[in-house]
Amino acid sequence: MTDQAGRHEGAENFCGPYESWMLKHGKDFDLPALLLDKEAAISAVAEWPGGFDATSTEIVAKVGARDYPTVLPQLWTGGSSPEKFNPSFVPFLFLPSGKGKEQQTPSNPTVEHQATSLQTLQHSMSSAGQPDGDGPYFRVTFPLFHDTVDDQRNPGVNQPSGGPKELSLSAPSVIMAVIDDGIPFAHANFRASDGSGTRVDYCWSQGAPSRNDGSILFGREFSKQAIDRLVEDHKGDEDAVYRQAGALSQPGRPPMSLSRMHAHGAHVLDTATGRWTADSDTKVRIVAVELPSSAVWDTSGFGTDMFVLSAMHYIFDRADRIAEEYGVASLPLVINFSFGTTGGPHDGSSAIEAAIQEMIAARRRMGAPTALVMPSGNIFLDRTHAVLTERHFDKKRSAKLTWLLPPGDRTSSFMEMWLPEGVDPSGFSFALTDPDGKLVMNRDLLLSGEANSSARPGYIETEPMAENSRDFGQFSIDKYRNHRWRIMIALAPTEFDGDRKVRQPAKAGKWTIELVKKSGTPLPSITDDAGHADKVAGGIQCFIQRDIQYGSGNTGAVQSYFLDPLNIPYNKWGGPMVTDSVSSGGMAFVRRFGSLNGMATGDATLVAGGFNELTGMAALYSSAGALRYDATGFPKQIGKQVTVSAVTERSPALPGVVAAGTRSGIMFSMNGTSVAAPLISRQLCQAFVNLAPGYGQFKATLTNPADTYVSLLSTIKNGVKKTKKQGFAGPDSDERVGKLLVRLPRPNDRDDQKAINRIYDQNAGLKAII
C-alpha cells in the first residue's frame, strides 16, 4: 500500500496529519476548488517553549527558510500593563520572496504535478537546514491569497485610530468582540442612537485584498472613523460601501459572505450586540473579525488556527486601544466565537484552546475581565462520536468500528481516535477493510519501538493508502503536543471528477476499522486530569470530523457517520432517541453525550447549548459533554459540560431565532447553538453595563483564570430534572441544558422563577406565562 511504511514524508517537522493530507496527498481533492495561488503565502502557528518575546526577531532564525521569510501579525503583549505577555503560541506567515503580486494567478484545478506551496517550502527549508534543536514546534496551516498580504510586511506601521472621542462621551462599560464569517460592519443596527455613528470601533476583514498601507499584515482593517466616512460618502448604500471596501466577491476568488443577503456572522453579530436600548448602546463598543470565507468552508477546522489566534491578538490589542482612547486603564471584554469542530482531544489541550486560555488568563491577571462564549455544537444525533472501552474488546482482544461513507460526497472525510493518556500505542495493531471486504491496511499502530517514550513534540508516522498507485487515503499516528497519541484516518471524496492518474475516490459504503490489543493493558473509561484534580473521559475517544456544506462554499460535502447495531436510533413513539444506548445487557460504542464542540473544552470557556423555548427541552441537535455509566447505566458527568443553554428554537412550529441579514432591513431565522452563544454574550455585556463602574462581590470571580463568569448571568435556574432522578440523562436534564436557561429578550419580562420551575416540572413549557 505504500513504498515505505511509516516514512517521514515531505515537511515532516511542520506537517501534521491534516496538513499532510490537505496540502499533499489530498490536495487534488480539496484545495484546487478554492482557487488558491500556486505560490501562496502559508500560515503557521508555533508553540514556543518558555514564551515568545514579540519584540524580537528570533522567530526568523528559529523557523525561517531561505526563500520563505517569516513575518508576524501584530501580537498582543499586555498593553499598558506593567506585566508583559510573552505568548507560548505564535501565529506567523511564511511569505515567498522575490515574487510580485502581478505574477500570482489562481491555480488551475486541471493542471497536475505543478509545484505546490508545501513542496516549495519544504525545498526551501531543506536548503536552509533544520530549525535549531531547542526551537519551537510548529505546524503550517492554510495558504493565503498573496494579494491579501501587505507588501510592506510590517504590521502596525500606520496604525489607524478609532477616531477622536467627543469629550461629552463617557467611557463604555464593555467591549463586545465577535469572530465569525460575514461581518456587515456598515449595518444600521450597529449605529448609535445618539447619532454619533457606528458602534463598531474596529473591524478586520482577514480575507479582503490588502490596501498595502502598513496597518495590518493581511486583509483590511476598518476603524470607526473609516466606517462612518464610507457610509457618509455612499449615502448609506451598503452595497457600494462593501464594494469599495473589497468585501464583495471578485472573479477568480472564493465567494465572500457579504455578497449574499444573509450570513452566519451577520446573524450572530446582531444577536450579540445589535439594537441596544438608547441608554445602553453607547456603553457597548464593538470589535469584529471576519475570518476568510474559504478558510471556514472546510468544517473539519483545518487551517483556521493562525487566523483565529491572530484574531484573538487583534481583539485584545484593540480593546486596550479603545480603553486608552477613553482614558481608562482597561475595559471588560466579552468574546463571542460561534465556531467549532468535532475532533480534538476534548480535554482543553488542543493548541488553539491552550493558546486562547493562556491569553484570557493573562488579561485577567492584569485586572481586565475577559469572557469567552462558544457553542456546544450541533451534532448530538449525527453519530459522529464513539467510545471504545474494555467491554468492547472481544475474547480475541479485538474491537471493530463501522464507518459509513455516503455516495456523492465531494470532500474528504476524517476520523480521529484518541488513546487515553499513558496508554502505550505499541500494544495495538490496526486494520482497515474497505466496503468490498478488501483488507486495505494491516499494521502495528506504532512502527518505532522507541517513539512512545522518546517522541519529540509533533512526532508523526504517516502511511498513504493507494490502489494501483493512486492515492485514496492516509493513515497517521502522532503524539499530539507530546501529550496523547492520536490515530487519524483520511479518506478521499466518494465522488471525484478530477484526473484519476494519481488519485482516485474512496469507495462509498461501510469501512471497518479493527483495533487488536497485543497485551492485556486495560483501557480506563475515566482517567485523572494531570493538570487538575478533575476526571476526564477515558476509553478510546473516536470522532468523525464534521463534513457539511457551509456558507457560500458550494463544496458538495456530505456527512459520514458510524454504524452500530447496538445503538437505538428511535424511541417507542418514533422520535429520535436522545439518550445513549447503554444497559447492563450491552453498551453501544456510538455516543450522543461527549459530542461537545472540540474547541470549547478550555477551563474559562462558557459553553452554550440550545433549547426550545416552548417546551424547555434541549434542541435535538444540541451537543453535550461526556458521560460515563455504572453497571446499571446511571450517568456521571465527566470533563467539560454545557454551562448554560439559550433559545435556539422558539417552538416546534417556529424554528430558529430571527436576527439581521447582511443589509439593513433584512431579517432571517437561523438555529443551532451558534445562535445560543451570542444570546448569552449579550447577557454578559448587560451584566457589565449594570455592574459598572465597580464589580463589587464579583471581583474575585473576574480575575479567576478558570471561571466561566456564569455567576454574572441573571437567568432561569434549570435545576435537577426528573429524567436524571429516574436514572438517565434526558432532554431537560442538567447534562443536556446546563444549570441555567436564557430566554429571548423581551421588553416587559414577566419571568417568575417559581412559576417557570413549576411549569417546567409539569412539562407544560413556557407557553403559560408568555
The owner of cell 498595502 is: 212
Asked whether the predicted pLDDT for residue 521 surpasses 90, the reply is: no
pLDDT computed for residue 459 by the predictor: 78
Dist CA 505 CA 658 (whole Å): 40
Give me the DSSP letters along 662-723: SSTT-EEEE-SHHHHHHHHHHHHHHHHHHHTT--GGGHHHHH-TT---GGG---EE----HH
For residue 417, the cross-strand partners are 487, 542
Dist CA 222 CA 230 (whole Å): 10
- Extract the C-alpha cell encoding 549: 456544506
The separation between CA 431 and the C-alpha centre of its own chain, rounded to angstroms, equals 30
Dist CA 87 CA 362 (whole Å): 9
- The helix/strand/coil state of 435 is coil
Dist CA 593 CA 629 (whole Å): 11
Mean pLDDT value of segment 322-330: 92
Closest CA to 715 of 692, 693, 683: 683
Burial of 175 (0-12, 13-18, 19+ CB in 10 A): buried
- The helix/strand/coil state of 240 is helix
For residue 175, the cross-strand partners are 285, 333
Closest CA to 579 of 710, 759, 721, 756: 721
Q: What are phi and psi of 429, to 5 degrees?
A: -120, 160
Dist CA 443 CA 665 (whole Å): 59
**Lowest mean pLDDT across 10-19, 54-63, 609-618:** 54-63
pLDDT computed for residue 66 by the predictor: 60
What residues contact residue 295 under an 8 Å CB cut-off, 6+ apart? 142, 207, 303, 304, 307
- Average pLDDT score over the chain: 83
- Residue 16 or 199, more confident: 199
- Residue 274 or 136, more confident: 274
Q: Give 316's pLDDT tier (boundaries 50, 70, 90).
A: very high
Dist CA 163 CA 325 (whole Å): 9
Give me the DSSP letters along 620-673: TT--B-EEEE-TT--EEEESS---EEEEEEEETTEEBEEEE-SSTT-EEEE-SH
Q: Is the CB of residue 639 less than 8 Å from the CB of residue 535?
A: yes
Closest CA to 676 of 377, 296, 232, 386: 377
Residue spans of beta strands (DSSP E) within 253-363: 284-290, 333-337
In this structure, the strands spanning 586-587 and 605-612 are unpaired
Mean pLDDT value of segment 23-45: 71
Helices (H), 180-237: 224-233
**Lowest mean pLDDT across 103-117, 353-367, 606-620:** 103-117
pLDDT computed for residue 722 by the predictor: 53
Dist CA 655 CA 80 (whole Å): 46
Asked whether the predicted pLDDT for residue 577 surpasses 80, the reply is: yes
Asked whether the predicted pLDDT for residue 724 surpasses 80, the reply is: no
Q: Give 34's pLDDT tier (boundaries 50, 70, 90).
A: low
Q: What are phi and psi of 245, to 5 degrees?
A: -75, -5
Closest CA to 734 of 645, 632, 622: 645
What residues contact residue 486 under an 8 Å CB cut-off, 6+ apart? 17, 345, 416, 417, 418, 419, 477, 478, 479, 480
Element (H, E) at 413: strand 413-418
**Lowest mean pLDDT across 63-67, 266-270, 683-687:** 63-67
Task: Render pLDDT for 693-710 as a digit per residue (tens, 0 to 9).
Answer: 777 778 888 999 999 999
Distances (CA, A) of 82 to 583, 694, 705: 57, 22, 19
For residue 517, the cross-strand partners are 428
Distances (CA, A) of 217 to 220, 223, 310: 9, 16, 10
Task: Render pLDDT for 237-296 as a digit per residue (tens, 0 to 9).
Answer: 999 999 999 999 888 777 888 999 999 999 999 999 998 887 788 899 999 999 988 777
Asked whether the predicted pLDDT for residue 571 surpasses 60, the reply is: yes
Q: Return the percentage of the chain with pLDDT > 90, whole number.
A: 49
Q: What are phi and psi of 72, to 5 degrees?
A: -100, 140
- Residue 726 or 742, more confident: 742
pTM for this model (two decimals): 0.91
Other CB atoms within 10 A of residue 563 CB: 14
Task: Render pLDDT for 143-200 as a digit per residue (tens, 0 to 9).
Answer: 888 888 988 766 655 555 555 455 446 889 999 999 999 999 999 999 998 888 999 9
In this structure, the strands spanning 526-528 and 535-537 are antiparallel
What residues contact residue 28 under an 8 Å CB cut-off, 6+ apart? 109, 112, 498, 499, 502, 503
pLDDT computed for residue 761 by the predictor: 54
What residues contact residue 219 under an 8 Å CB cut-off, 6+ apart? 148, 204, 205, 206, 207, 208, 210, 292
Closest CA to 207 of 237, 239, 250: 250
Task: Render pLDDT for 424-464 as a digit per residue (tens, 0 to 9).
Answer: 888 899 999 999 999 999 998 877 655 566 666 667 888 99
- Residue 108 or 570, more confident: 570
Q: What are phi and psi of 362, to 5 degrees?
A: -65, -45
Q: How long a stretch of residues is the chain?
A: 770
The separation between CA 597 and the C-alpha centre of its own chain, rounded to angstroms, equals 8
Q: Is the CB of residue 433 less than 8 Å from the CB of residue 547?
A: no
- Extract the C-alpha cell encoding 304: 483556521
- The helix/strand/coil state of 143 is strand
The owner of cell 470530523 is: 545
Closest CA to 160 of 203, 190, 192: 203
- Residue 634 or 419, more confident: 419
What residues contact residue 270 under an 8 Å CB cut-off, 6+ apart? 187, 189, 659, 660
pLDDT computed for residue 15 by the predictor: 77
Burial of 704 (0-12, 13-18, 19+ CB in 10 A): middle
Asked whether the predicted pLDDT for residue 4 surpasses 50, the reply is: no
Asked whether the predicted pLDDT for residue 383 surpasses 90, the reply is: yes
What residues contact residue 17 under an 8 Å CB cut-off, 6+ apart? 460, 462, 474, 476, 478, 486, 488, 490
Q: Give 384's pLDDT tier (boundaries 50, 70, 90).
A: very high
Distances (CA, A) of 582 to 370, 391, 589, 634, 725: 40, 12, 9, 9, 17
pLDDT computed for residue 493 by the predictor: 95
3-state DSSP helix/strand/coil % of the chain, to nearest 5: 25, 25, 50
Asked whether the predicted pLDDT for residue 636 surpasses 50, the reply is: yes
For residue 576, the cross-strand partners are 570
Q: Is the CB of residue 678 less than 8 Å from the CB of residue 688?
A: no
Burial of 458 (0-12, 13-18, 19+ CB in 10 A): buried
pLDDT computed for residue 749 by the predictor: 47
For residue 213, the cross-strand partners are none
The owner of cell 515532516 is: 12
- Residue 166 or 203, more confident: 203
Q: Is the CB of residue 295 less than 8 Å from the CB of residue 40?
A: no
